[in-house]
Amino acid sequence: MSDLLPAAPRIYWLESKAEIIKSARMPQFIIPTIALPPAFYALFALALGQGSEAAATQTLATFGVFAVMGPALFGFGVNIAAERETGQLELKRLSPMPAGAQITAKIAATTVYCAVSLVMLYSLGIVAGVALDAAQWTAMILVHFLSIIPFSLIGIGIGYRFGQGAAVALANIVFLSLAVMGGLWFPIMAMPQVMQSAAWVLPSYHLGEIALMAAGQRNDGFLLLHVGPLLLITLATAIFAWTGERQQSR
Amino acid sequence: MQTDPSLNVAKLECVSKSYGGLRVLEDFSFELEPGCVTALLGPNGAGKSTVAGLLTGRLSADVGQISLFGLDPRDRRARARMGIMLQSAGLPETLTVMELIDLHASHYARRMATERVIEQAGLVDLADRRCSKLSGGEQRRVQFALAISGAPDLLVLDEPTTGFDSEARRAMWQLVRAKAEAGTAVLLATHHMDEADALADRIVVIANGGIVEDGPPSQIKSQVAGSVLRLRTRLPAARFRNLPDIVKVEERGADLAILTSSPRLTLESIFQIDPDLQHFEVVGASLEDAIENLIMSQSKKEAA
């Protein structure tokens, strides 16, 4: 590029690697975000489950969405807030690092952590008797990985707007609300009508339903009914993230 | 691309900058040269950090030209020649000192070897320690290491020795001097007058959006015929604040310290309001007093 700037791909790689190492050394991140969803799944589907394949499959489909929420919300939200508050972000912004390297590294790290959590989850699912065909597995895995996008955008929006302490609290509230009210732990049919209606504004609800369809568990489902709202919600989360970032980098 | 050697390291030309209607810099011009440690001094809100922010491309000017190595300060090729030590002390907690320096240096094509950075910043014993396990002073040294890791031609240091004991400060000053002697331009923003006095080749005093004084430390000190009157009086400090030529009245223990630009006139008027005054002494102004005096007389000129 020039005698002053090193090749960009190497920086992207080194920043991504550092981002992964940073979180790997934080038990307070690893345990609740990576290990918790598979542990819960083991409890729900294996220990408490009725042993039916359908129950294990349905729980796996929605827990896959649950599993990516932690790394996305906390990895982006809390880490950005902490790095912003301590001036680390500022120093990076003033360095000659390519502008996209920081966010690319965070996306890479989040994807890796989601993948680790999902692999554990899928292994437990197979133990619990989940038997999907190749197309169903592919579709469900794709939905789970795409779920990273809206949750990451919410995390980014939180990280740029709130201080570290507030970001942790808020990310926790969002994490639990999206999981419970979005029907990822148990079907929203078990909840009062008003909460069933409220679930329509939650990305977790639509992603859960789409994952269930992908896994062949919703024969009466109508895909576009969930894809449409989900796209609108994702657009809203993108605006939330983008305006938060703008607000900071004036 | 190679830069023309006649170009300055950094240059602000007729720059103005306001925040929400409040003018922080007004028609401000200023240059930095290689091998020279320039200290920016001034009261809080005088525009020190604004100048640093403009040079590092963190802020943009409302009016005027800013160039860094002949380029826009936001140009990555300009940033590649600059090392920055910010005032805030945050480091990624779980990376080791070595990992962090290695990562930061990788942003620069002309980087120093990590081992050399670690050696120069006096971090050899701490290389494998995680940043969360460092003391405040050690963290500052790591930040200095990050600033020099890209072998910069310009070092911008914001309060580099805050929270240091005197031994650590002198060690840091030595590191900075060594860099300047090797040809690096250094911009130092500091509250510590002794730091500027010990380290700077040139002191630029800023107040009210402009440069009040610009010269070597000795010149700044000799500029001021100011003196400090120490006296023991029963009258409250407020009684003295409105006397002529007074820059500042401060309570120091049981005494009052009065900084004045003309000790004779001030003493005369003090005797008028406190004829019983017994204990007093007149001492020369320190660099700190000198600068306050400069800023004060500048404000008076503007008010007139």
Taking all residues of chain B, what is their mean pLDDT, rounded to a whole number?
Answer: 86
β B63-68/B82-85 pair status:
unpaired
CA nearest to A25 within chain B: B94
Q: pLDDT value at position B97?
A: 97
Q: pLDDT value at position B58?
A: 87
Cα within 13 Å of Cα(A90), Cβ side: 21
Q: pLDDT value at position B293?
A: 72
DSSP-based three-state secondary structure for B272? helix
Domain boundaries, chain B: 10-215, 225-284
Q: Is the pLDDT of residue B299 over 80?
A: no
Report the topology of domain B225-284. Answer: Alpha-Beta Plaits (3.30.70)
Low-confidence winner among A25-29, A233-237, B162-166, B223-227 (lowest mean pLDDT): B223-227
Q: Evaluate whether A85 touches A168 at the Cβ level (below 8 Å).
A: no
Cβ atoms within 10 A of the Cβ of A248, count? 15
Q: Is the pLDDT of residue A75 over 50?
A: yes
Closest Cα of chain B to A26: distance in Å? Answer: 7
Ranked by mean pLDDT, the top range of A27-41, A132-146, B33-47 is A132-146
Between A71 and B290, the higher pLDDT residue: A71
- B212/A contact by beta carbon, under 8 A: no
Q: pLDDT value at position B303?
A: 66
Helix A8-24 and helix A101-127: axis angle, to 10°?
Answer: 50
- A98/B contact by beta carbon, under 8 A: yes
Q: How far apart are CA B80 and CA B294, in angstroms?
A: 37
Give per-residue pLDDT as tens, B156-179: 998 888 878 888 889 899 999 999
- Which chain B residues are closer than 8 Å to A83 by Cβ? 90, 92
Q: pLDDT value at position B192?
A: 79
Of B57, B90, B104, the CB nearest to A87: B90
Low-confidence winner among A85-89, B57-61, B62-66, B260-264 (lowest mean pLDDT): B260-264
- B280/A contact by beta carbon, under 8 A: no
Q: How far apart are CA A237 and CA B258, in angstroms?
A: 60
- Which chain A residues are closer than 8 Å to B58 by Cβ? 90, 93-94
The pLDDT confidence band at residue A50, using thresholds 50, 70 and 90, is: low
Q: For the CA atoms of chain A, what is the radius of gyration?
A: 19
Q: How far apart are CA A147 and CA B131, in angstroms?
A: 33
Q: Is the pLDDT of residue A39 over 90?
A: yes
Q: How far apart are CA B187 and CA B191, in angstroms?
A: 13
Q: Evaluate whether B278 touches B237 at the Cβ level (below 8 Å).
A: no
- Cα dihedral across residues B3, B7, B10, B16: positive or negative: negative
B88·A3 Cβ contact <8 A: no
Stated pTM of the model: 0.82
Dump the DSSP string for chain A.
--SSS--HHHHHHHHHHHHHHHHHT-HHHHIIIIIHHHHHHIIIIIISS-S-HHHHHHHHHHHHHHHHHHHHIIIIIIHHHHHHHTTHHHHHHHSSS-TTHHHHHHHHHHHHHHHHHHHHHHHHHHHTT----HHHHHHHHHHHHHTHHHHHHHHHHHHHHS-HHHHHHHHHHHHHHHHHHTTSSS-GGGS-HHHHHHGGG-HHHHHHHHHHHHTT--TT--HHHHHHHHHHHHHHHHHHHHHHHHHH--
A6·B130 Cβ contact <8 A: no
**Phi/psi class of residue B253: alpha, beta or left (left: φ > 0; alpha: ψ in -120 to 50)?**
left
Give per-residue pLDDT as tens, A164-205: 999 999 999 999 999 999 999 988 888 899 999 999 999 999
Q: pLDDT value at position A235?
A: 97
Which residues partner with B189 through β-bridges? B40, B158
CA nearest to B57 within chain A: A94
Q: pLDDT value at position B89?
A: 67
Closest Cα of chain A to B253: distance in Å? Answer: 37
What is the value of ipTM here, to two decimals?
0.87
DSSP conformation class of B69:
T
Q: Does domain B10-215 have CATH number 1.20.120.530?
A: no
Token code pair at residue B190: 């500091």
CA nearest to B156 within chain A: A94
Q: How far apart are CA B33 and CA A199, in angstroms?
A: 62
Between B265 and B100, the higher pLDDT residue: B100
CA nearest to B82 within chain A: A95
Q: How far apart are CA A211 and CA A86, in angstroms?
A: 39
Q: pLDDT value at position A250?
A: 46
Low-confidence winner among A27-31, B34-38, B63-67, B160-164 (lowest mean pLDDT): B160-164
Low-confidence winner among A74-88, B54-68, B271-285 (lowest mean pLDDT): B271-285
DSSP-based three-state secondary structure for B19? strand
Closest Cα of chain B to A248: distance in Å? Answer: 11
Q: Is the pLDDT of residue B2 over 50?
A: no
Q: Which residues of B294-304 are buried (b: 16+ CB within 10 A; e: fewer)?
A: bbbbbeeeeee
What element of type H or E holds B266? helix B263-273
Ranked by mean pLDDT, the top range of B59-63, B227-231, B269-273, B282-286 is B59-63
CA nearest to A22 within chain B: B94
Closest Cα of chain A to B158: distance in Å? Answer: 12
Percent pLDDT > 90 in chain A is: 73
Chain A, window 8-27: residues with a beta carbon less than 8 angstroms from a chain B beta carbon:
10-11, 14-15, 18, 21-23, 25-26
What element of type H or E holds B238? none
